[in-house]
Structure 1
C-alpha cells in the first residue's frame, strides 16, 4: 500500500487518475489503514486528494477523489485533525449543500459520493458533528428535502434522510434546530405522506423505497423523542400515515414494521385513536365498528419477534411499549388486544407458558432473567387484565406473576380500585367451568387430585409430624434459610444451603401492609398471618 500511496501523492494527472482507481479497486472494502500511520502518509494523502478537489480543472477526477476519501474516512485515526473547516466546506459544496437555492443544482455522481463521504464523517468524527452547526449545511439540507421534485435521484433522497437521522442521533442539539427552527419534522412528514400515497397505487412497496421510508421513520423518531411542542394535527397526520404504512404490503417487512412501531412509541396518547377508524365494512378485524387491522398487524409483528430469542430487549421492548401505550390510551384497543392474546380460557390442561400462542410466548417471558423484558411483558398482560390480580392469576398462573405482584405490592388483600370499563369482556367457557375447582392457581392449569399425605396417620402421628415441622422451621428461621409459605404448603430451597446459612441472604417472610414481602422475627408470625394471606379465587371475567 505504501508504494501506491506514495505514487498518488507525487503523481502527474494521468498517473494520479490511474492510481486512485487502483486504490479504489484494491482497498474498497477496507476499514482500517494502519499502513498510513508511517511517514505522515495519511496527512499527505488527504492533502493531495483535497488539492485535486479544489481544482475545477480536474473536475473529471472529483468523483474518484471523493470515493477514495469515503474509503479512508472509515478509519477514525486522526480524523478530527484531518477535517478542517475548509475541507468540510469543500465536501459540503460538492454535496450541493452550500447554496440555499436547490433549483440551481444539477445532481451528479459527484453529489452522491460527497453525501456518502459526509455521512461517514458525521458518523466517525465528533469534530464534524460540531463544525456542521456553524455551516449552512442543515438549512440547505432541509430546504432541499422540502423542494424535492419528481425526478430527484433516489440516492440523493436516501442519503439526505440518512444524514438527518445520523446527525440528530449523535448530536442532540441538532434535534431542536431541525425541528423547531427549520420545521424539518413537518417536511419529513409531508415527504412520508407523498411517498406513501404514491406507493399505495402499486401492489407492494419495493425494497428500495422501504429502505428510504425506514430512514425517514428513524429521523422522525429522533426528532419526536422527548418532544411535546409539535401541533396535534401534525402528529395525527403522521399516525394516520403510519397506519397506512402498516397496512401496505412490502418487502423487508420486519425492519419496516419495527421502525413504524418505534415511531408510534413516541407519539402522544391522544393520537392513537386514529389507528382505529370507524368502518362500515365487514371483515375479521372489525371490532365494535372499528377497524383494528393496524393493531392486528402490530400483534402479528409481536408474534414474529417473540420467536426471535436474540437481543430480547432490542426486539421486544419497542413493540411491547407501543402496545402498552395503545391499550392504556384506547379502551377498544385494549379489549381487542385482549381477545387476541387472552381469549376466553378453553385449554386448562396445559400450563399458560406451554404452546405457541401469543399468550404462551408472553407467559414464558414472565420468568425471564432479562428483567427489562420481563417487567414490560408483565405490565402489558396486567393492563390487558384490567390490573385485576385474580384475572392475571387465571390467565398466567400465580407462579409466573408472583414477581410482578411483589414488585407492585399486590400480594396483600388491600388493593386500590382502578378505573376501567365495567362491562364484561367475556364469560367463562364450559371447559373452564367444568374443571375450575381442579385448576391449581399457582401453575394455572388442571391438576388431578393428589393423595392426602396425612391419610392413614393416627392423631398422635400427625401431632408428632407437626411438632417436627415446627422445630425444623424454627431452625431454618435462626439460620436465615429462605422458605416460602403459600397456599398452606411450605417449600424449602436447599440450594447452596450452607452459603445461605453463613450469609443470611434470605429470610422467611410474611406479606406486609404494603403488599410486599417482609422478613419475620419469629416463626409464629406465619401462623398469625395465614388467614389474611389465603388466596381467594375471584377469577370471573365479569367486571
Structure 2
C-alpha cells in the first residue's frame, strides 16, 4: 500500500484499522533498513504513530505501532519525532500493559538511542538509565526478552554516552546491580568471600537464554569498568572476578556460545 494512503487513513482510523494498516506496512518493510527516498513521508508516519501511542489504544495496537517505530528507527534520517523528550517518555510509559508491548518498546528504544545523538541526550535528560537500573533490582522477575533488551539498552547508553558511566557507577550502583544479575543468571553458590563453588561436572549445559543474558551483562560491565574508580568498587570487582572464573568453567549448548563467553579476554584481564 502507498505510504501516503496509509498516512491519510491513519488520521481517522480506529484501533483495529490502525493495526491492520500498520501490520501491512510492517510486512512490506520487514527487511528495509533505509528510507532515504521516502524520508519526509516516513518522518510523518513516525509522528503519526507517536500520536496514536499517545492515545488510549489496545495493547495489540500498541505493539503493532511499536513494531512500525522499530522498523523506522533503523534509519537515523527519520528519527526526529522520536528523538524528543515526549517521544522517549512516550515509548517508555505507554507500553507496560503487556510483556510483548514492553519488548517492542525496548527494541525500538535500542534502535533510536543507537542511531540518534539527539535521543541519547534526551535519554540523559529524562534519566532513562536511572529507570533501567531500578528495573535491574527486579531482574529475578523478568521474562527473558524484557531482561535481555533492558540490559542491551543499558549497554548502549553506557557505550555511547561516556559521561554517563560515572553516574551509573556512583549514583545508581550499576556495577553492583549488574553483578547481582550475573550472579543470579549463573545460579552461583558461594563457598568463600570471593570464591564460587565449581560447577557440577554432570550438570546440563548453560541454557541459551542464560548465556544471552550473561553476555549482555558483561558488555555493560565492560563499559562501566573501563576506568578503575577504586574504593568501594574493589569489593564488587573481586566478586565479578569470581563470577568470571565460574563462567569460564560452565558448559554451553553449542561450541559457538562457548567461544562467545570465553573468547573475549578484555574484561577477564581487567579482573
State the TM-score, normalizing by the size of structure 2: 0.86
Equivalent pair of 2:46/2:79 in contact (CA under 8 Å): no
Deviation at 1:82, TM superposition (A): 4.9
Alignment of 1:221-236 (within 5 A): 221-229=222-230, 230-236=232-238
Q: Does 1:204 align with 2:194?
A: no
Matching residue within 24, 29, 32 for 2:31: 29
Gaps of 5+ in 1: 97-105, 268-543
Gaps of 5+ in 2: 190-198
1:153 corresponding residue in structure 2: 143
Deviation at 1:81, TM superposition (A): 5.7
**Distance in 1 between residues matched to 2:36 and 2:17, nearest whole Å:** 24
SS in 2 for 1:123: helix
1:74 corresponding residue in structure 2: 74
**Distance in 1 between residues matched to 2:161 and 2:127, nearest whole Å:** 16
Q: Which protein is richer in helix relative to its size?
A: 2
1:9 corresponding residue in structure 2: 7
Larger radius of gyration: 1
SS in 1 for 2:24: helix
**Distance in 1 between residues matched to 2:117 and 2:186, nearest whole Å:** 35
**Distance in 1 between residues matched to 2:229 and 2:163, nearest whole Å:** 16
Q: Which runs of 4+ in 1 moved over 4 A?
A: 198-202
Q: CA RMSD in A?
A: 2.0
1:112 corresponding residue in structure 2: 103
Equivalent pair of 1:95/1:114 in contact (CA under 8 Å): yes
Q: Does 1:246 align with 2:248?
A: yes
**Distance in 1 between residues matched to 2:179 and 2:32, nearest whole Å:** 37
Deviation at 1:107, TM superposition (A): 4.7
Equivalent pair of 2:18/2:61 in contact (CA under 8 Å): no
Aligned positions, number: 252
State the TM-score, normalizing by the size of structure 1: 0.44
Q: Does 1:258 align with 2:263?
A: yes
**Distance in 2 between residues matched to 1:178 and 1:190, nearest whole Å:** 15
Q: Bigger relative contact order, structure 1 or 2, given CA contacts below 8 A and separation 6+? A: 2
1:378 corresponding residue in structure 2: none
Equivalent pair of 1:52/1:58 in contact (CA under 8 Å): no
**Distance in 1 between residues matched to 2:95 and 2:129, nearest whole Å:** 12
Query: Alpha-carbon deviations, 1:352-394, whole Å to 9, x = none?
Result: xxxxxxxxxxxxxxxxxxxxxxxxxxxxxxxxxxxxxxxxxxx
